[in-house]
Every structure is written in structure tokens, then in C-alpha cells.
Amino acid sequence: DPKIIQKPKYLVAVTGSEKILICEQYLGHNAMYWYRQSAKKPLEFMFSYSYQKLMDNQTASSRFQPQSSKKNHLDLQITALKPDDSATYFCASSQDGTDTEVFFGKGTRLTVV
């Protein structure tokens, strides 16, 4: 059973619209993250949260807003969608500690038309 659930698996959106990508983890982790991977590009770190607080934001655009309603949830709201936002968005989580591994979800593939 997948321990990190991302919904939906595939998403098609119209330019200018708003979408929310869902992420839930059942690993009991305190830290959660969002990464983005555009076609044929390396995985790009976006946000990190620890105990539901924003720790790092490497996303230049304010159109991307993480939302943490519960400790094991970290959704990603994207507003004013652009075709360049088309990518696979991966949610991840990890336990506290200095040398623990980060677990990744299967991703949400977003296509903006």
C-alpha cells in the first residue's frame, strides 16, 4: 500500500485557472516537501515544511502556495496556471533527524493547456 498518497494522478487544467494538488502521508513523519519535475529536467525542490510550518521556499512565484491543514497533509495550491507550470509534482516526507531518508509519492502529472 502506498504510504504517500497524491491526488489526482493526472490533471489537465486551462490556462488561468486554479488547481489544488493533494498530498497525504501515513508514515508518521513530521517533515513534508514538494518537488517539481518538468519534461526531461532534474527534480526541482520547491518547499519544505516541518511540523506544519514553512521551513524553506525555493519557488520564486507566489502562485504556488502550500497548505497544511493537518500534520500529515501538505496540499499545493497553484493559481493563475500557465503552460510552463506543466510538470509532474512530487510530494515527499521524512522523519526528524539528521540522516534520515526522504520518501517520495508517485506524483501528480499536471498539464496546462
Partner 1 sequence: DAKTTQPDSMESTEGETVHLPCSHATISGNEYIYWYRQVPLQGPEYVTHGLQQNTTNSMAFLAIASDRKSSTLILPHVSLRDAAVYHCILRVAVNTGYQNFYFGKGTSLTVIP
Q: Using CB under 8 A, list all residues that contact partner 1.
A: 30-31, 33, 35, 42-45, 48-51, 55-56, 58, 88, 90, 92, 94, 96-107, 109
Length, in residues, of the chain: 113
Minimum distance from residue 83 beta carbon to partner 1 (Å): 20
Shortest separation between residue 61's beta carbon and partner 1, angstroms: 18
Least spacing, CB of residue 46 vs partner 1, in Å: 10
User: What is the residue whose three cell numbers read 518538468?
Assistant: 38
Output 22 or 79, the one with its CB closest to partner 1. Answer: 22
Between residues 13 and 34, which has the closer beta carbon with respect to partner 1? Answer: 34
Residue 80: CB minimum distance to partner 1, A: 26
Q: What whole-number distance in Å separates Cα of residue 71 and Cα of residue 10?
A: 25
Beta-strand runs (E) in 1-113 = 4-7, 10-13, 19-25, 31-37, 44-50, 53-57, 64-67, 75-78, 87-94, 103-104, 108-112
